[in-house]
Amino acid sequence: MNIKEIKELAKKFTPQQIEKCIDQTLKIGKPTLKGCEVSGDLMEVLNTLAKAETVRELMDQGMTEVEAIRELAKRIRKLQGAEK
């Protein structure tokens, strides 16, 4: 998980813009929205964009950036079965 890229995307774009980047990546293999470029293979790009979208949504709900990233990490651990 590249937290630096996630933070930058979450600060720069709305959830709707990030969703558009995800759609573009699925359709043509890479996002075309300027500033939405992410390093890695296709799955890494999609994962980073999805995480950034979640962080931004949480920030829009009133969380700070740090709180949003912690919540994302908590959700990931829960899905992986590491946390109940």
Question: pLDDT digits over 12-44, tens only?
Answer: 999 999 999 999 999 998 888 888 888 889 999
Let me know if residue 84 belongs to a domain: no
Which residue in 53, 55, 57 sits closest to 23, CA to CA?
53
Query: Range of 60's domain?
Result: 3-79
Over the chain, what is the mean pLDDT?
92
Query: How confident is the model over 49-56, as a mean pLDDT?
Result: 97
How many other CB atoms sit within 10 Å of the CB of residue 43?
Answer: 8
Let me know if residue 50 belongs to a domain: yes
Let me know if residue 26 belongs to a domain: yes
Surface-to-core class of residue 84, CB atoms within 10 Å of its CB (0-12 exposed, 13-18 middle, 19+ buried): exposed
Q: So what's the pLDDT on residue 76?
A: 93
Let me know if residue 62 belongs to a domain: yes
Let me know if residue 28 belongs to a domain: yes
Q: Provide the number of structural domains found in the chain.
A: 1
